[in-house]
Structure 1
Amino acid sequence: MNAVAVGYAISTGSVVVDAALPVEDIEVTAHSIAARYVRTFGVAQKLARINVVVPYVTMEGQAKVIGQDTSTTRTGFGDARVQVGINLIGSPALDRKEFNKYSQKTIVGISLITSMPTGLYYKDKRVNLGNNRWGFKPEIGASKKFKRIYADGYVGMWFYAKNKDYLVSKVKKQEPLLSTQLHLSYYFKNQMMVGLNGNWFSGGKTFINDVALIGPFEHMRAGATWAVPLSGKHLFKLQFHTSVYTNTGLNFDSLAFGYQYVFF
């Protein structure tokens, strides 16, 4: 199966791409458009997939950087991400006819997400759209069906390479960051879906030239999703999420719209 998608999101509040910054009282509006491609395939009779996302972002607002008021405007590409995953238990690789008859029970899978330093980055600026470093997140996830309700949970850990061009000549490094997700989704007879979503991030203490700068982070988010399929190939999605708890000053809301087209 192949799927191409495009999404638009608007985020307002203390929005920054890199949370490990000495930034206070930030009030930013960020508009992002992301293009996505997904392909599923079989590996040793197991269902696998590759997922590629490329974002383009416009961000503007006000912030206080090291005690000084300043304005922020950035427009350009963010860091691209590539995810490769495979299901280990449940959901075997099936052809199209078999898949239409398949009924999910319990699924367990693993994946690796790679964040590539493709985003706009100015060596002499603290606020950027890209992080100028590689990031890797191995993750394990499970999904269980209860009649029309699906429960999904994921646990992963981000590992980051060093940014050796932070403020031109400094080195920034970040400790691993724990990432968790939980989703509860209800599917109607016409396959329309409504869901509740939660995320928790913990860790990720950041150092500049081996001097502790900020962290560790504690950040919890909650949201909701509504998705409507049309003609078996088209999907429209609306999603909202907000900060529930944070110890870093990151407190923002985000509203996203998406469209996906599936083909074989």
Structure 2
Amino acid sequence: MGSMNPWFKRHQRLASMCLLMFLCAPSTAFAQDFEPRRWTQLPVGTNVVGVGYSYTSGEIDFNPALRIEDTKFDMHTAVLGYARYLAVFGRTARIDVKLPFQSGDWNGRVNGQPASTSRTGMADPELRFSVNLIGAPAMRLKEFMKFRKEHESTTSLGLAVGLRLPLGEYSSDKLINLGENRFTITPQLGVLHTYRRWSFELTATTFFFTDNNNFFSGNDLEQDPILALQAHVVKTFSWGPWIAAGVAYGWNGETYISGQPLGDEKNKLLYGVSFGVPIAKTQSLRVGYLRGDTLTDVGTDSHSVFFGWVWRF
């Protein structure tokens, strides 16, 4: 890690503002990782295709010394996703692929003067592999249906690893980008307990970030790991619909510009509800709301609404 670039020293307030915007934007890994029913087991050979849209708006609070006020953002996100269930050494495994596209606007006042920017394009795609280590074995459809009828209560333990690829829109001459120009690696451990039509999920995640050696104005960007816990309660009704409520907490994750710490450790609370309903034998719709609150004086408070269509075959 070298010394801080002279440009950053001369423009530290503006650079810090834009960096915090970049880190607190709704595209952060922690917010996108909030997902109920991710450990639900389905028959081997099942494919799932989904299309989703979310709208997020919020406010960003900065250190008063930066003289940045009334900072707000709006973000539109469309996601195309695919998942497949398969057997690995007799256990159920799942492969996920997500391809996101985003359009966002940021505006506020810097030293009393209005400032704004916008971005549109592809964000960083995500891959995820998960496997059920403890619990029911991998099963085809007939075995799966029989097992569910015979077992009203089950508990499983799953392990997963996610990878966010640096393929989204990125330019080193811009401080705010939809892509992050770095890999994000997310190992996860999850527990799922199901009793009749109720499910209880707990997931522990660590977000590891590689360095961005092509950050703005010749600087390097580094970030400590983010630690997170999330829990969900899901109720499934006899005729197919389900409703879920969840909460998540994330902390740590301080960032460094060319070795200089920014003192921006995360301390974030997420909570939300979602609802799914079948519209055909193999299709369903999902809607939901997610609230994000920073538990420090500096950070982002946001609201998100989302809906999606899912086809299972």
Give the TM-score category using the shorter length. Answer: over 0.9
Identify the residue that residue 253 of structure 1 maps to in structure 2.
303
CA contact (8 A) 2:107 2:117 kept: yes
- Cα deviation, 1:57-91, whole Å, max 9, x if unaligned, reads 01113035698642111000001010001000113
Could you tell which deviates more after superposition, 220-229 or 142-151? Answer: 142-151
Which of 135, 144, 149 matches 2:184? Answer: 135
Q: 1:46 aligned to 2:76?
A: no
Identify the residue that residue 237 of structure 1 maps to in structure 2.
286
Aligned letter for 2:208? F
Gaps of 5+ in 2: 1-45, 61-65
Q: CA deviation at 1:235?
A: 1.4
Higher strand share: 1
CA distance in 1, matches of 2:125, 2:113: 31
Aligned letter for 1:35? L
Identify the residue that residue 19 of structure 1 maps to in structure 2.
none
Q: CA deviation at 1:93?
A: 0.8
Identify the residue that residue 277 of structure 2 maps to in structure 1.
228
Q: 1:262 aligned to 2:307?
A: no
CA distance in 2, matches of 1:261, 1:151: 24
CA contact (8 A) 1:83 1:111 kept: yes
Identify the residue that residue 196 of structure 1 maps to in structure 2.
245
Secondary structure of the structure 2 residue equivalent to 1:128: coil
CA distance in 2, matches of 1:68, 1:108: 53
Secondary structure of the structure 2 residue equivalent to 1:168: helix
Which of 164, 167, 180 matches 2:213? Answer: 164
Q: 1:86 aligned to 2:136?
A: no
CA contact (8 A) 1:3 1:260 kept: yes
Residues 129, 66 of structure 1: alpha-carbon distance in 2 compared, 3 angstrom cutoff: farther
CA distance in 1, matches of 2:213, 2:305: 34
Q: CA deviation at 1:190?
A: 1.0
Q: CA deviation at 1:125?
A: 1.5
Identify the residue that residue 224 of structure 2 maps to in structure 1.
175
Identify the residue that residue 80 of structure 2 maps to in structure 1.
35
Identify the residue that residue 56 of structure 2 maps to in structure 1.
11
Which of 52, 70, 94 matches 2:115? Answer: 70
CA distance in 2, matches of 1:214, 1:259: 40
CA contact (8 A) 1:62 1:70 kept: yes
Size of the aligned set, in residue pairs, is: 257
Residues 76, 214 of structure 1: alpha-carbon distance in 2 compared, 3 angstrom cutoff: farther
Secondary structure of the structure 2 residue equivalent to 1:102: helix
Q: CA deviation at 1:245?
A: 3.9
- Cα deviation, 1:95-135, whole Å, max 9, x if unaligned, reads 11111223350010000010110111121221111111001
CA distance in 1, matches of 2:76, 2:201: 28
Aligned letter for 2:163? T
Q: CA deviation at 1:234?
A: 0.5
Could you tell which deviates more after superposition, 163-172 or 36-45? Answer: 163-172
CA contact (8 A) 2:293 2:302 kept: no
Which of 241, 254, 258 matches 1:209? Answer: 258
Larger CA Rg, structure 1 vs 2: 2
CA distance in 1, matches of 2:137, 2:286: 26
CA distance in 2, matches of 1:138, 1:105: 24
Secondary structure of the structure 2 residue equivalent to 1:190: coil
Identify the residue that residue 98 of structure 1 maps to in structure 2.
143
Gaps of 5+ in 1: 16-21
Residues 26, 43 of structure 1: alpha-carbon distance in 2 compared, 3 angstrom cutoff: same
Q: CA deviation at 1:206?
A: 0.4
Using the size of structure 2 for normalisation, the TM-score is 0.78
Secondary structure of the structure 1 residue equivalent to 2:300: coil
CA distance in 2, matches of 1:67, 1:82: 43
RMSD (Å), alpha carbons: 1.8
CA distance in 1, matches of 2:54, 2:270: 16
Higher helix share: 2
Aligned letter for 1:53? K
